[in-house]
Each structure stands twice: as structure tokens, then as C-alpha cells.
Amino acid sequence: MTFRIVHQPAANPARSPFRIVEQNTGREIEWVNRYLDILCLRRMAPLTLRGYAQALLHFLRWWESVHHTVTITPAALTESILLDYVRFQSGQQQPPAGCTINQRVAVVDRALRSLFPEAPRQIAPALQIRYWRRAPMGLGRPAPALSRIRVKEEKRTIVPLSVDEVARFWASFRTSRDLAIVGLMLLQGLRSREVLALNREDVSLTEAQIRVHGKGDKTRFLPLAPESVQLLDHYLRLERPSVATPPLFVSLKGSARGASRSALPVPLSPPYYRRQKSQSAPLPPYLCQRHGARRCQPSRPHAPDGACQHSDYPHLC
């Protein structure tokens, strides 16, 4: 049997829009979707729900390959279920990273504890440590506790970028729009999806302020750095089409490209953003191991002798 995640928005806010179903018949996997509904009832963000669904989907495929059924009963759960699951992931041809294994195991552990509270506790002494848990509000003595099942995660060594790498990074951008996007992420600390979700009315250059719609549908107001104000002003005056479309960052697509400035633009999407990011300057060696060798190759030549191609912003090059 094969399984997949489908997106089915519903009017009921207590029902998760992400459902795990059998691909051939479309039958829903009851116990997994019941836990996703519990998470949706807790008002978790859609991206978080999708991450939980992907982790549970991976566990479901492993469970079906071992037990030849998608049904889980308390009698079928033993103390070594998660240990066997970790052993399966570590024995794959290309084993996932330690943080991925820990994330999947944590999600499955929470789901099993929530749906089957009478099931035996998962025990793997080699993958757990004992510690003292503080009493609630610091009252009383600490109690001994056992950590979750975890594997060792590799420590990343952060190497600062050199002046040459920073210059090549800024020289890889060709438009003021891309410079404004990167400036908001670097100077204001915005996430990529927060930048793409910005509307024209969210930016007030006269007050040097920006309204950001963040995770969990939370809105916050941030002051704009002078460099960000300059980049946004340059983009709005010279590059952005003068049409009344809500998105701040847009791109001309299809027949609209090369047409008049009044052509209807298309808002930037996350796939477009990731494609543009992959075509920027080469990554430093410690990031190449994480993102793969393909991302580390420059996609186009840079300016000769490290010359900056953005004469309007020499302080950024």
C-alpha cells in the first residue's frame, strides 16, 4: 500500500486540512488524522501541521512495511517500537541527519502517548539520559526523569564569511527588488515567507515602519533601517509596476514580461524565491555540506575584479 498527504481545506476549524490517505482507494488513516485534528484544535500553524503530517507519514510507511497493516492497537505497541524505528532510519542507504531522526521520533512519541495512553512507555537506555526535573513553579524537590529517545546530532561549525564572499554575494543580485528582499531579511530579521507575504500597504516609508504577518497569524510592527528604506524606495519608484495589486514584491510572467509597465504582475511564490536563492552567490564550505554541492556552484559569472554592479548602493557591496 502507498500513502500520501492531501490538502483538503474544511470549514470546520477543528478538522485538520492535511489528511493522510491511501493513494489507490482514498481511504483515510483514522488514527493519524485523529491526532492531526487534535493539533488543529490546539491552533497550530498550517506549516507546523504539514510538518507533523510528513513525520507521521514516514512512520506509517515503516509500520505498514513491518506489520502489514495500518491499524495500531495498544496490544501491538511494545517498549521498543521507537528503537526499531530509529534503527530502520539509521540503516537506510542514505541515512537522514540526526536532527531529522529526532524530530520524527519526537512527533511519533507524542502521537502514541496522546492516542494510546495505556501503551507501554518507550525505553531505550542507550539513547536516553536521566536528569532531574524541576517541580512546577520551583516548589518542592526535583524528581528523577528519563529523556526522550534521541540520537547524537552533528555540531555545525559556524565560519564567518570573508570580505570577498560578502562582496560576491551582493554582486550576484541584478535587480533592486532582489536587493530589497535580502535587505529585509538581513537588516530586519524577516523570514522568507514573511517577506513574500508583505503587501504594499504594510510598508510606510515616511514613518520608517513595516507591518509583518508572521507565524501563527501574528502581526508585529518593526522599524525600518535607513538602508532598508532606501532599497524599498528605489524598488517602488523604478522597478515595481504602477498597478494597484496588494503584493509588495511582484514579477511579470508570460506575455506580460517585456510588455508595458501597466501589465498585470504576478506575486512572488516560495518556489520562485527558492529558485532565485539557488542562483545567487556560492555558499561557504560549511553550508555546502548542508545544502548539497549543486547549490555551491555559481550559476552565472560575477563582475570582474570584484566590481560591484549596484552603483546606487556602494555601501552594500
Amino acid letter, residue 219: T
Per-residue pLDDT, 55: 95
* Three cell numbers written together for 299: 550559476
Integer angstrom CA distances of residue 221 from 88, 161, 188, 212, 226: 46, 30, 11, 6, 16
Q: Is the dihedral of CA 308, 314, 316, 317 positive or negative?
A: positive
Name, in order, each residue with C-beta under 8 angstroms of 203's C-beta and a sequence gap of 6 or more: 210, 211, 224, 232, 248
Domain topology for 163-316: hpI Integrase; Chain A (1.10.443)
- What is the Cα–Cα distance from 180 to 202, expressed in whole angstroms? 15
Per-residue pLDDT, 241: 80
Cell 507533523: give the residue.
Answer: 52
Rounded to 5 degrees, φ, ψ at 226 are -55, -35
As a three-state string, the secondary structure of 171-200 is: HCCCCHHHHHHHHHHHHCCCCHHHHHCCEH
Per-residue pLDDT, 264: 52
pLDDT less than 70: residues of the chain: 252-266, 269-317
In tens, the pLDDT along 105-160 reads 999 999 999 999 988 888 888 888 888 888 887 778 888 888 888 888 888 888 88
Collapse the DSSP code of 7 into the 3-class scheme (helix H, G, I; strand E, B; otherwise coil) and give the result.
strand
Q: Name the DSSP letter for residue 247.
A: B
Q: In which residue ranges of the chain is CATH 1.10.443.10 found?
A: 163-316
Per-residue pLDDT, 312: 44
Per-residue pLDDT, 209: 93
